[in-house]
């Protein structure tokens, strides 16, 4: 699938703020959540609704609602948790799983250290979260783990993506739709997205 890119003036404005190395932890964290909310709205365009009857102050009516219990958000630790508040704001009753991966600094390949999913994860629409789709290694491995757990309906949300990561995701999981706010130029020799915004995890949690 071709990536869906949310290119609009509001997102470009917010990206400019988080790219700035002088932006503080509080503002950086808040804007990551805001962009994540906007990505979630886009990713939910094909959501199925069910019809129920409610009563307004004036009359009864039929209306449509989302079954929030059908959804699960799965952030890739640790940076992915920075997007979580933005999505919970949109779908507060979604279940939450976690996948712990870290990148080996020498091989640049992801190493798994944690995996915990809600019950019946295979029946849910799963939205995987990671602010940076760089080499694509963590994204591919996380999605592979979910598929091995029986999950069939998966979407991936990232703030900034690199062409290399997009290509790897498409090659390994062509059925997974990517939603991203921006596609940057490339990766540098250390596997970081350029121009990017640095290490998203460190900037979200203020650890550097």
SS (H, E, C) the chain: CCCEECCCHHHHHHHHHHHCCCCCHHHHHHHHHHHHHHHHHHHCCCCCEEEEEEECCCCEEEEEEECHHHEEEEEEECCCHHHHHHHHHHCCCCEECEEEEEECCCCCCEEEEEEECCCCHHHCEEEEECCEECCCHHHHHHHHHHHHCCCCEEEEEEEEECHHHHHHHHHHCCCCEEEEEEECCEECCCCCEECCCCCHHHHHHCCC
What CA–CA distance (Å, rounded) separates 166 from 63? Answer: 38
Question: Which residues are known to be catalytic?
Answer: 103, 107, 199, 202
């Amino acid at each position: 699938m071709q990536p869906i890119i949310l290119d609009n003036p509001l997102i470009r404005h917010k990206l400019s703020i988080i790219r700035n190395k002088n932006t503080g932890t509080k503002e950086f964290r808040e804007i990551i959540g805001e962009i994540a909310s906007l990505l979630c709205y886009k990713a939910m365009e094909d959501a199925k609704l069910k019809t129920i009857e409610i009563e307004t102050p004036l009359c009864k009516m039929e209306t449509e609602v989302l079954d929030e219990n059908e959804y699960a958000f799965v952030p890739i630790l640790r940076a992915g948790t920075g997007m979580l508040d933005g999505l919970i704001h949109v779908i507060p009753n979604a279940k939450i799983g976690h996948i712990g991966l870290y990148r080996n600094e020498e091989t640049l390949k992801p190493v798994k250290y944690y995996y915990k999913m809600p019950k019946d994860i295979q029946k849910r629409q799963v939205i995987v979260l990671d602010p940076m789709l760089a080499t694509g290694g963590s994204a591919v491995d996380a999605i592979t783990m979910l598929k091995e757990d029986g999950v069939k309906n998966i979407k991936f949300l990232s703030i900034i993506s690199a062409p290399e990561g997009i290509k790897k995701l498409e090659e390994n999981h062509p059925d997974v739709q990517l939603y991203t706010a921006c596609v940057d130029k490339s990766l540098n020799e250390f596997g970081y997205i350029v121009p990017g915004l640095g290490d998203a995890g460190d900037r979200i949690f203020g650890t550097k």
